[in-house]
């Protein structure tokens, strides 16, 4: 069930976070994987009970399940998880540029480009 018309952006992001946490098998709910030209992981779009949800890390973070934050190449501030409903609905206030980070550095991912990729049936999107 896709829920539109959240009262605030904070409520929308909170609902998105709860929806991703509720996924029993997250890998089976992946609609789109976002990578840079160097094949680094940038973001993931999941199909959830509240619709498509964007999940990314912003700032320095570990690169794999056994890796540590690579502070030698970044500052000491840990990364922040960015979780948001990809299509907030008509009339909702939402920036098109979503923050993300990969080993190449910080970047912005276009919300509308992600939606077009999912609608066209793509499973992987390369961003520059």
**For 22-51, what is each residue's pLDDT tens digit?**
999 999 999 999 999 999 999 999 999 999
Name the β-bridge partners of 110.
Answer: 97
CA atoms of 3 and 112, how far apart (whole Å):
19
DSSP 79: P
Q: What pLDDT does 95 receive?
A: 83
CA atoms of 114 and 109, how far apart (whole Å):
8
In a domain, 80, yes or no: yes
The token pair that represents 70 in the structure block: 């690579």
In a domain, 118, yes or no: yes
In a domain, 28, yes or no: yes
Q: What pLDDT does 1 receive?
A: 42
Tens of pLDDT, residue by residue over 107-128, are 899 999 999 999 999 999 999 8
In a domain, 31, yes or no: yes
In a domain, 3, yes or no: no
- Domain housing 121: 9-127
Question: pTM (2 decimals)?
Answer: 0.80
CA atoms of 60 and 71, how far apart (whole Å):
7
Q: What pLDDT does 80 receive?
A: 82
């Amino acid at each position: 069930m896709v829920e539109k018309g959240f009262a605030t952006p904070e409520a929308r992001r909170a609902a998105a976070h709860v929806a991703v946490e509720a996924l029993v098998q997250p890998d089976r709910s992946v609609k789109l994987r976002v990578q840079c030209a160097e094949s680094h992981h940038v973001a993931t779009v999941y199909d959830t009970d509240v619709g498509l949800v964007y999940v990314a890390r912003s700032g320095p973070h570990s690169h794999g399940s056994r890796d540590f934050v690579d502070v030698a190449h970044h500052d000491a501030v840990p990364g922040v998880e960015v979780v948001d409903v990809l299509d907030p609905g008509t009339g909702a206030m939402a920036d098109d540029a979503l923050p993300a980070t990969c080993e190449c550095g910080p970047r912005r991912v276009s919300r509308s480009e992600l939606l077009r990729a999912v609608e066209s049936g793509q499973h992987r999107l390369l961003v520059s």
